[in-house]
Homo-oligomer: A and B are copies of this chain.
Amino acid sequence: MDNNLDADLGRIPHQTMADIVETRLLEYLKKKSFKPGDALPTELDLAEALGVSRNVLREALSRLRMLGMVETRKKRGMVLARPDILGPLERVLDPLIIDQRTLRDIFELRLTLEVGLADLLYLRKTDKDVEELEAIAKDQKNLGGVTFRINNEIAFHGKIYQMTGNDTLKRFQTMLLPIFGYLVALEKVPRMGQVSHLDLVELLKHGTKEEFRQGMLNHLQHHFDKLA
């Protein structure tokens, strides 16, 4: 009867103490503009200051620890740390849990990145890198099973990301792989672009930045075609 009512109205968020303490702590850290390594008050002091039990405080702190924002050592107390910005993302990226719309968004995000990569690539690529990339591309010729072809695909594009010299970008791409495996596996007939990996390597060796970008675009064209 009113099954859609829940979807229409949604549920009122109901902030819990731990939620509030979490935001308060984040505000506190940012306001005080601590630098990594700075010492923080003890749990007992914080709990008392916030007027909550140590239990609640620790639940909030546990979150900040997961984000890598604080580290705690016995006796020493808590210390502000450099968060791992991609760590939390990594935990959540399960294609089966993420909704279809976001999945599509992420897919497009990857395509966008790959097309835009050319500039960084030409800025930082080395001859050694190009050689290694070529080796990967040539490996594709003697294709084994489906598994091999997928792994080779991953290796090739992964290498390109690595060649940009941008570690965050590379990690980001690695994290998105499961989503890609999932989406590609949904395709009935695996389609290949008109521009092969070897073509891309050739462009990288002797072509201009714009030619390579155009080549990558063609390589990914059949993905773009399906977006609408």
Which A residues lie at the B interface, using CB under 8 A? 18, 22, 26, 29-30, 33, 35-36, 55, 58-60, 62-63, 65-69, 80, 82-83, 85-86, 88-89, 91-94, 96-99, 101-102, 105-106, 108-109, 111-120, 123, 164, 166-169, 172, 210, 213-214, 217, 224, 227-228
Give A36 to B227 CA distance when docked, in angstroms.
26
> Contact: A112 with B108, CB < 8 Å?
no
Question: A85 with B62: in contact, given A108-B169, A119-B224, A123-B227 (CB under 8 Å)?
Answer: no
Q: Cβ of A168: which chain B residues have Cβ within 8 Å of it?
A: 102, 105-106, 109
> Contact: A94 with B55, CB < 8 Å?
no
> Contact: B169 with A109, CB < 8 Å?
yes
A interface majority secondary structure? helix
Give A88 to B83 CA distance when docked, in angstroms.
11
Q: Cβ of A91: which chain B residues have Cβ within 8 Å of it?
A: 26, 67, 69
> Contact: A105 with B62, CB < 8 Å?
no
Q: Cβ of A33: which chain B residues have Cβ within 8 Å of it?
A: 96
Give A131 to B173 CA distance when docked, in angstroms.
35
Q: Give A83's nearest chain B residue, CB to CB.
A: B92
Give A106 to B171 CA distance when docked, in angstroms.
12
For A35, A62, A82, which residue has the most chain B Cβ atoms within 10 angstroms?
Answer: A62
Q: Kindly provide the distance from the CB of A55 to the nearest chain B CB, expressed in whole angstroms.
A: 7
> What are 8 A-to-B residue pairs whose CB atoms are below 8 Å?
A29-B94, A59-B59, A62-B62, A85-B92, A88-B88, A101-B167, A112-B120, A123-B228
Of the residues B98, B117, B224, contact of A85 by C-beta under 8 Å: B98
For A26, A88, A111, which residue has the most chain B Cβ atoms within 10 angstroms?
Answer: A88
> Contact: B85 with A93, CB < 8 Å?
yes
Q: Kindly provide the distance from the CB of A91 to the nearest chain B CB, expressed in whole angstroms.
A: 6
